[in-house]
Structure 1
Amino acid sequence: MTTTTGFEPTASGRTTEEIDALAKGGRTNIIGFVMRLVARLPFLFIAGRLYGPDTLGTFARAVLFVEVAALLATFGLKRGLALAILESARPHVQIVWDCLVVAAIASGCASGILLLMPDVMFHGGNPSALERFLPCIIVASAWSDIMLAALAYRRNVQATVTARAVIEPWTISIAAGLLYPIAPHDGLVLAYMLSMAAALVASIVPFLRSYGRPTGWRLHPGRTFALIRRNAPLAGADALEWGTRNVDRSILFLMFEPRIVGIYWMAQQVASIPGKLKTSFDPILGPVITSSLARGDTAGVASQVRQVGFWILAAQTGLALMGSIPGEAVMGTVGPQFVAGTAALAFLLLAEAAASTGAVCESALVYIARVQNVAISIGMLLFQVVLSFALIFAMQWIGWPVAYQAAGPAVALFVSVGITSIIKSTYLSRLLGAGVAGWRLPMLWAVLAAGTVGFGFTLLPHRFEWAELAIGVPAIAGVYLFVLYRWAARPEDRALFRRKAGETPALPVPGLSAGSGVPR
């Protein structure tokens, strides 16, 4: 397999501006992650304690179709938008509106299909009249993603934090709690629809303030289809990445009852929180990489990928330790019936850490080796599917409990994404002529030290299970961060935690509207 990048390495490396952009984006994303975590936990508690695993299983199936439709509707433009703007002399706002038209067309087609076939989403259930309108929210999710990507191109990551880490999770948490007494059957679906609509509003306001109205813009079919054709490989890469993370849930729908799916979905939701660290870096990493590629600075691209790769790998490894070692206590918090998903939780958290290197490398591969990147993803997705079924059937033949069988797809995910990270980092390193892996040996000492501390807390009697979470998790985090910061961190890593003089605050100020400094 060969490819031509069209770029020659240079010795310039990263510019100060790009490092500052990545560091500022990293600070914003760390704060955004904490905010997302705080906002997401109430929803998981409400969903687990009030609605239960059976309702969660039905909800997870319906949302699965909406999520994949919304992803496909963006047509890779979350990452392709930066390149489209760089390659055109037209006003930025007009290019963004071309992208919004593409998303609207794709969303309309997907919504129409799902509206005509509600049984596909609800698996022969009896959806309410309001639940049947769930596909109508697809366009809200797609438009919000594109508008936030447009804002990130102008280095406004704060808008993403506000919409995705504050508005969306708090809306679904509050709505799920308030709707349960009124609609215990479809309250989760309605809460999800409200959260997507709220996130769209939180995206539109800063977008209009930054880009304004599309003056002089006209719909041009030829230009629209050219945009679709150009972004098809990016759309394929997004779909494959999504499929890698969600094919396990699809397999569970085929093999197990809704209750088992609901337990696994809860474990997946807990584990997916660390994954937001990587996806939230996409909008800021994409423009930086395209800028370096535009001037032929492949050494700079390698350095950027390596830097962000270390940040994400270090963070997700720490979160995997904090979530998997006291796994039973974590799952028991959302409901005793969810403890059966502890094994799945552990492997899903490990998978998030294992996938980080490959995911960051893909941020560069989608620009310089699109077809090859898609080919690698397709091959590994097929491997994951085959391995998932093989593990389930093997455990059924042995006679292992259903809870262990349901963890089979999580094990397959961990193995698959780990191998994918090795393949993609090796391939990208060869293309750029420089190392791109973010792994550093002192991380191993941090893992061993934190793991030893965490294991000690699991030996406490059952009546002290609360101590695993209240004391054990902070202790694991403290030891891990101390060793990491003392022996693995470099000056550019420490810059992540130093706000420069005059830097715009990363967090929305209470009483101010998102993305602005004007009081509401």
Structure 2
Amino acid sequence: MTVGGSLPSTPDAQSSDGNERLQRGALAVGGGFAIKFGARISFLLVAAILYGPTLYGAYSVALAVVEVSVTIGGAGMKTMLFQILENAERSTSPGERLLEMGLIVVGASALVTVLIVSCILLLPGLGLVGWTLLWMAPLITGQALLDLLLAATRWQGLVRYEVLCRSIIEPYVAVLVSVAAFLFGAPQFGLVIGYAAGTLAAIVFALSAVLRSFDMRGVTMRSSGFRQLFSTMRHNSWVTGTDCVTALAERVDLYIVGLMLGDAPAGIYGVARQVCTPLRQVRQSFDALLTPIVARELRLSGVDAARRTIAGVSRKILDLQLPTFLLIAGMGAAILHLLGGHYPAAYAPMLILCLAEILQASFGIADLLFAYRAPGYGLVITVAGTAIGVVASFLLARFGMVGIASGLLLGYLARALIRRRMIHAQFAVSTPLRPLIPTAIAFAAGGGVILAAVGNLDLTSMVPAVAATVVAGAIFFAARRLADRSFHLQPN
């Protein structure tokens, strides 16, 4: 909806204008994530050097619990909000629907917060992780509401608000306040204080953005509003379950590291996860506009058009993720060496986590088809893949962080195979793999350079690391162009 109350005009992604807008939006959000990655690196240095692996490990595990709780408290609104706002058959205005969704999110997330706090107080012996989580739990409601507010601005096509909020305000406020808290004598909970400050600053900005982009004058809850709330919650139950299991699957490896190996190894493992952040952000840069576009295409054009859009975006994601992985693989050992201590031990699990992130991020966007058309099947796929990953991680935990990360990779691989099979069975369509072959060939060529460098050079030193990375990148792009010509594919 615009300020005047009409629906926003989001063009079909299959049209040249729609595809151009999708890429512009992805570029804008991607640029924001690049800025955010600077904050991530700054935060990583602050956490690793000032606070150390034990405090950072406890914070990482507690944050992983909070993030899963935010997904539960979000009640599926981050995904389903677009369809709810698009529904022209409902008598309420988009502003009134947004208010209803906000009440659902606040109520559900507050309930989750109460349950977590109660468990911490009733279960003694949770140690530093428990106390850290106790201080962070009240922020669950704020983060869930923040997700909803930013999703509402994306529905309007106003990506800049999410870029400013998630990429600049929230992370940089958190870094600055964390440093200030350490310097002014609050080292044990300085990371939590920084997280709280970043969350509150982001909420204020996001709320002001929604008030500017939605006409909220005269918006109230009608007598039928509460019945509509419960109806919406029931309708979203499958999607909520899928989102929750997905969030758990993305973090269960960190829980297992903390449980099986302790807080300090969890801190080292958390550093490995942080270095993988750019790969996740490549996917997220497309999410901002892809989700509302797929929702609209399914409503107007059906599954086949949405499937073509998803397949095209999957290739774009891989085209960006694979050279990014080569950059991380080439420079990662040197970055970890700069942190000192035991952090270089994170290199091997970091590479495995990167491969897992690529697998899930590039192929996982097909989950949108299930979210909007067959949410029950989507939940089955997610649960099956997660169960396989959890069992594999526990079985491989005797090999330390490398084994646990490998379990996560196996879970994502199983999920990708099950998803592909279910898409063919449920929608009678399949995603061709041939367009991905040139990128795969180029990745194999660049990856071979990195493997040779690992075996013959000291990649913990900056000069050989930079040299190996540059050569691998050059070979990747040269091989990609050659393979494109061989397979007669037009570059995107």
Q: CA RMSD in A?
A: 2.8
Between the aligned partners of 2:343 and 2:162, the Cα distance in structure 1 is 31
1:106 counterpart residue number: 108
Q: How big is the shift at 1:412?
A: 1.0
Listed as ranges, the gaps of 5+ residues in structure 1 are 1-11, 397-403, 495-520
2:244 is aligned with 1:239: yes
1:447 counterpart residue number: 443
Between the aligned partners of 2:217 and 2:456, the Cα distance in structure 1 is 62
3-state SS of paired residue (2:461):
helix
Q: How big is the shift at 1:195?
A: 1.4
Q: How big is the shift at 1:44?
A: 0.6
Between the aligned partners of 1:98 and 1:235, the Cα distance in structure 2 is 17
Between the aligned partners of 2:200 and 2:240, the Cα distance in structure 1 is 23
Q: How big is the shift at 1:357?
A: 3.6
- Opposite residue 78 of structure 2, the aligned amino acid is K
- Opposite residue 190 of structure 2, the aligned amino acid is G
Q: Which moved more, 1:446-455 or 1:151-160?
A: 446-455
- Opposite residue 422 of structure 1, the aligned amino acid is L
CA contact (8 A) 1:82 1:287 kept: yes
2:318 counterpart residue number: 313
Name the TM-score, length of structure 2 as normaliser: 0.88
CA contact (8 A) 1:13 1:297 kept: no
Name the TM-score, length of structure 1 as normaliser: 0.84
CA contact (8 A) 2:26 2:285 kept: no
CA contact (8 A) 2:60 2:270 kept: yes
2:465 is aligned with 1:465: no
Aligned residues: 473
CA contact (8 A) 2:393 2:403 kept: yes
**Candidates 259, 265, 273, aligned match of 1:268:** 273
- Opposite residue 46 of structure 2, the aligned amino acid is I
**Candidates 169, 172, 196, aligned match of 1:193:** 196
Between the aligned partners of 1:107 and 1:467, the Cα distance in structure 2 is 48
Listed as ranges, the gaps of 5+ residues in structure 2 are 1-11
1:145 counterpart residue number: 147
Q: How big is the shift at 1:132?
A: 4.1
The residue correspondences of 1:214-229 to structure 2 (distance < 5 A) are: 215-218=218-221, 220-229=225-234
1:353 counterpart residue number: 358
Q: How big is the shift at 1:310?
A: 0.9
1:159-189 Cα offsets, whole Å, 9 max, x none, are 1111111112212222222221221111111
Q: Which moved more, 1:73-82 or 1:445-454?
A: 445-454
Q: How big is the shift at 1:240?
A: 1.2
Q: How big is the shift at 1:465?
A: 0.7
- Opposite residue 103 of structure 2, the aligned amino acid is V
1:212 counterpart residue number: 215
For the structure 1 residues 430 and 126, does the alpha-carbon distance in structure 2 shift closer, same or farther, using more than 3 Å as the test? closer
3-state SS of paired residue (1:155):
coil
CA contact (8 A) 2:58 2:132 kept: no
**Candidates 160, 166, 169, aligned match of 1:167:** 169
1:93-128 Cα offsets, whole Å, 9 max, x none, are 111111111110012112223333446899633689
1:499 counterpart residue number: none
1:409 counterpart residue number: 404
The residue correspondences of 1:117-136 to structure 2 (distance < 5 A) are: 117-118=119-120, 124-125=126-127, 132-136=134-138
Determine what percentage of the aligned residue pairs are the same residue.
Answer: 21
1:73 counterpart residue number: 73
Between the aligned partners of 1:128 and 1:237, the Cα distance in structure 2 is 26
CA contact (8 A) 1:29 1:277 kept: no
Q: Which moved more, 1:196-205 or 1:13-22?
A: 13-22
CA contact (8 A) 1:45 1:333 kept: no
For the structure 1 residues 468 and 165, does the alpha-carbon distance in structure 2 shift closer, same or farther, using more than 3 Å as the test? farther
Q: How big is the shift at 1:371?
A: 0.4
CA contact (8 A) 1:268 1:345 kept: yes
The residue correspondences of 1:272-351 to structure 2 (distance < 5 A) are: 272-351=277-356
For the structure 1 residues 126 and 32, does the alpha-carbon distance in structure 2 shift closer, same or farther, using more than 3 Å as the test? closer
CA contact (8 A) 2:82 2:292 kept: yes
Between the aligned partners of 1:446 and 1:45, the Cα distance in structure 2 is 33
Q: Which moved more, 1:245-254 or 1:131-140?
A: 131-140
Between the aligned partners of 1:122 and 1:58, the Cα distance in structure 2 is 16
CA contact (8 A) 1:358 1:422 kept: no
Q: How big is the shift at 1:264?
A: 0.8
1:249 counterpart residue number: 254
1:134-171 Cα offsets, whole Å, 9 max, x none, are 22211211111111111111111221111111112212
Q: How big is the shift at 1:460?
A: 6.5
Between the aligned partners of 1:448 and 1:69, the Cα distance in structure 2 is 38
3-state SS of paired residue (1:105):
helix
3-state SS of paired residue (1:216):
coil
3-state SS of paired residue (1:161):
helix
1:83 counterpart residue number: 83
Question: Higher relative contact order at CA 8 Å, sep ≥6: structure 1 or structure 2?
Answer: 1
Q: How big is the shift at 1:225?
A: 0.9
- Opposite residue 322 of structure 1, the aligned amino acid is L
1:33 counterpart residue number: 33
Q: Which moved more, 1:206-215 or 1:432-441?
A: 432-441
- Opposite residue 208 of structure 1, the aligned amino acid is L
2:430 is aligned with 1:427: no
3-state SS of paired residue (1:336):
coil
**Candidates 177, 180, 192, aligned match of 1:178:** 180
CA contact (8 A) 1:78 1:145 kept: yes
1:503 counterpart residue number: none
- Opposite residue 191 of structure 2, the aligned amino acid is L
- Opposite residue 31 of structure 2, the aligned amino acid is I
Between the aligned partners of 1:216 and 1:462, the Cα distance in structure 2 is 63
For the structure 1 residues 477 and 176, does the alpha-carbon distance in structure 2 shift closer, same or farther, using more than 3 Å as the test? farther
2:394 counterpart residue number: 389
Between the aligned partners of 1:156 and 1:208, the Cα distance in structure 2 is 13
Between the aligned partners of 1:73 and 1:28, the Cα distance in structure 2 is 28
For the structure 1 residues 208 and 440, does the alpha-carbon distance in structure 2 shift closer, same or farther, using more than 3 Å as the test? same
- Opposite residue 366 of structure 1, the aligned amino acid is A
Between the aligned partners of 1:316 and 1:462, the Cα distance in structure 2 is 25
3-state SS of paired residue (1:185):
coil
Between the aligned partners of 1:59 and 1:114, the Cα distance in structure 2 is 16
3-state SS of paired residue (1:407):
helix
Between the aligned partners of 1:165 and 1:440, the Cα distance in structure 2 is 30
